[in-house]
Amino acid sequence: MKLQYPLFSQVALTEDLPQYHLKRGDIATIVEHYPMPDPQEDGYSLEGFDLPHITLEVAASQIMPMNDYLREEAILSKFRNLSQNRQTQLEEYLDFLLQKDQTTPINHTH
């Protein structure tokens, strides 16, 4: 099931859009949703960047909810404040956890 963002919710860009001089993390408001059949991505129209009277169309993968973006930025900020040695240790531990997640079956209880 595809994640659908609510209309008029604020989202952040997940990537730079140099053709519009926009950067990852720039914030806008969803003003339209374009559902697409699987396996295509849904589309969204965004407004509210520093581009007056411009509506920008993006794919779902190019945006994320503001709460997710802010949480990600908080984690990255903490990571950047670690020493190089601690960053390396954390990266190795994260790789271990990811590998464990991929090999451990998930038990679903109903």
pLDDT averaged over consecutive 10-residue blocks of the chain (110 residues)? Answer: 87 94 93 94 92 88 95 94 95 93 69
46-58 pLDDT, tens digit each: 998 877 788 999 9
With H, G, I as helix, E, B as strand and everything else as coil, classify residue 80.
Answer: helix
The domain tally of the chain equals 1
Q: What is the DSSP string of 24-51?
A: TT-EEEEEEEE---TTSPPEEEEE-SSS
The CATH number that applies at residue 86 is: 2.30.30
Between CA 60 and CA 65, with CA 62 as vertex, the angle to 5 degrees is: 75
Query: What residue numbers bound the domain in which 68 lies?
Result: 1-103
The pLDDT, as a whole number, for residue 103 is: 85
Distance between the two ends of the chain, CA-based, in angstroms?
A: 19
User: Considering the domain boundaries, does residue 10 fall inside one?
Assistant: yes
Instruction: Please tell me the predicted confidence (pLDDT) of residue 5.
Output: 93
Q: Average per-residue pLDDT in the chain?
A: 90
pLDDT score recorded for residue 60? 95
